[in-house]
Chain A
Amino acid sequence: MTLVYALTIAAYMGCGLYMMLSRHAVRMILGLALLTNGAIFLIFFAGRMGATSPPVIPRGIDALAADAANALPQALALTAIVIGFALTAFAAVLALQTYRALGTLDVREMRAAESLGAPDAPSSGRVKSDG
């Protein structure tokens, strides 16, 4: 079971890294989403897997049962899911807006920031800047 989980996480991470190597911004963002999910699986896995009972203390007893699940990784995974979702959503909107502004999401053609004030920029005309 452990090996299956480990291989699944490895496959997730591998796919994510492969997508990150793309030159297309949307594929990169998908790769980031996969990597985030892989990391969340890893957190969950770090809390040890196994047949456990819910981490609830029954009435009349003041300690957890020995086979109770570890609640902390679940809290961590939830936090990481929320953060990962928010940032992936932001990155997607950013990519959409960038596409609308630049007309491309191929990083080879995205030179707007690079050419702003570049040393080899043509020195005619004032360098535009928003400060």
Chain B
Amino acid sequence: MVDRVVDFSALLVVWPVLIPILAAAVTACLWAWPTAQRAVGIASLVLLLGASLVLVWTVASEGVVAKQFGNWAAPFGISFVADPLSAAMVAISGLLAFAVGIFALADIRPRQERAGFHPLFLGLIAGVNGAFLTGDIFNLYVWFEVMLIATLGLLVINRGKAQLDGALKYAVLNLFGTILFLIAVALLYGATGTLNMAHLARILPGMEMSPGLTASALLFLAAFGIKAGVFPLFFWLPASYHTAPIAIAAIFAGLLTKVGVYAAFRVFTLLFEMEGGFMREIVAVVAALTMITGVLGAAIQWNVRRILSFHIISQIGYMLMGLAIATPVAIAGAVFYIIHHIIVKANLFLLAGAIHRAAGTDDLRKAGGLLKSHPWLAVLFLIPALSLAGLPPLSGFWAKFLVIDASLRVEAWWLAAVALVVGALTLFSMSKIWMEAFWKKPVLVRATPRTVPAAFLIPIALLGAVTLGIGLFADPFIEYARVATAALVDPAQYIAEVLPTLQPASPTGLAEIIENKGAVQ
């Protein structure tokens, strides 16, 4: 028994979940010692970033990595799979968690730490990474719930009136979404007899789209739509995001909706086809309406956080647009878009925190004069703001370019037109923040400018540098997005890595055994 040495490299796929879960447990044990919690939190985030980068490096050089829990052969146990897309998502969320963790050092107050900020934050990261890495559709549901409970805890960490109100609305709508997800899983299991995504990917193409399967696909779309915040299911997002402390709002803005988008990409490339049944048309119309309502909702707001919350919604539309077009070029564009957007959006929320610190308010009507008092902040704001609006040479330009180019290639003129107009309106919102907070004369003149702590500026600069890096050296990132798309469009390697014993050469096998078993019962 003792001679069986634990092979740590075999746990490569599991570390991005294991590290934050262990750290969450340790910080929960250190409840009475916030300083120790902070140290454990930062140390684990550094480890997590390292582990995620090793994972993405391994996947980029060696292809899909899979791990079966408890060494149960694939369709029976739970698999964890890292393909290029999920590895990239894990790496980006590792980077973001690290940046927000540093930001939180100066933003999160002792009262919030005593309310359990560190365990909840790390639990949220574990849930997000679990959702990215799991290869089992029911397990994905479990990670969604882990995320949900951690999110709710973080939302009400201040126990203020607005937080409680926002959290209740968030809870009801998101719980409804996860119930739809559960129903979809039940219908899928009833039709196929398996929950392993690779196994489903092998069985489903040979099956007729029965009413049960169609209902399952539509319920998946609705459930992930609620998570991603698409039109008309987004109302929980602007109802709650602006109430949370800014470090928490930043990690929500960066990761939560994107988990919904990721799950939609996973399910609608690996399991279901976008072809037929008006699926593409539905998603295309939803994408266009999401872009428009989000950007118009932002246009009338004066509160920085509310402007940014509505922009999350409009940006989700661009990613869905890639899924609606569903050509490899479009999906590659959407993958690039997700990676760019996570960084930029979270950075803008961090900047909203810095603006709040510097101007003393979130209300743009009362802010002003920051260009003079905090010139560096102004420069740091311009990078993500112009990137979000899609100005070259920043990352947002390439993201928008790829998606719109793909829509023009399939002659979806109206979709391209919507995307371009929404891009211009995004620029309007960003220039509004710029004009009001930075450019205009201060409403209230202060003798000494309020200082912004270094723990705010370092993560903002780090994420800004990444945005610039993606923009200036876009080629390797686009190439990576192409590789990730190739793996999504043709999941042969994904399936082979998870189900090595069941090669396509022998179609009779487990599926048949399970089907027979289902028939017997």
Mark A residues whose CB is within 8 Å of B.
Answer: 20, 25, 28-29, 32, 35-36, 38-40, 42-43, 45-50, 52, 66-67, 69-70, 72-73, 76, 79-80, 83, 86-87, 90-91, 94-95, 97-98, 101-102, 107, 110-119, 123, 126-127, 129-131
Enumerate 17 A-B pairs (CB-CB under 8 Å) in ascending A order: A42-B187, A43-B186, A43-B189, A46-B190, A73-B189, A90-B152, A90-B171, A102-B165, A110-B168, A111-B165, A112-B166, A113-B240, A116-B242, A123-B366, A126-B360, A131-B246, A131-B352
Kindly state whether residue B124 has any CB partner on chain A within 8 Å: no
Find out whether the CB atom of B172 lies under 8 angstroms from the CB atom of A29.
yes
A41 vs chain B, min Cβ distance (A): 9
Decide: B165 and A113 in contact? CB cutoff 8 A. Answer: yes
CA distance A127 to B356 in the complex (A): 11
Contacts A83-B145, A112-B162, A114-B239; A32 near B365 (Cβ below 8 A) = no
> Lowest 5 A-B CB distances belong to which pairs?
A46-B190, A117-B303, A131-B246, A113-B166, A48-B521
Contact A39 B179 (CB under 8 A): yes
- Interface of chain B, main secondary structure: helix
CB of B142 closer than 8 Å to a CB of A? yes
Q: Is the C-beta of B405 less than 8 angstroms from some C-beta in chain A?
A: no
Q: Is residue B183 within 8 Å, beta carbon to beta carbon, of the partner chain?
A: yes
A46 with B187: in contact, given A119-B302, A127-B361 (CB under 8 Å)? Answer: yes
- Residues of B within 8 Å of A, CB-based: how many? 61
Q: Is B154 an interface residue (CB 8 A)?
A: no
B2 at the interface (CB under 8 A from A): no
Contact mask B143-175 → A, CB, 8 Å, 1/0?
Answer: 001001100100010111111111111011001
| Distance of A98 Cα from B190 Cα, bound (Å) | 39
User: Cβ of B363 and Cβ of A94 under 8 Å apart?
Assistant: no
Contact with A98, one of B138, B152, B165 (Cβ below 8 angstroms)? B165
| Nearest CB on A from B192, distance (A) | 10
Taking the nearest CB of chain B, how far is it from the CB of A35, in angstroms? Answer: 5
What CA separation (Å) do A73 and B190 show in the bound complex? 10
B176 partner, pick from A35, A52, A69, A117, beta carbons under 8 A:
A35
The reply on B182 being an interface residue by CB < 8 A is yes
Smallest CB gap from B301: residue in A: A119
| Chain B proximity of A121: nearest CB distance (Å) | 8
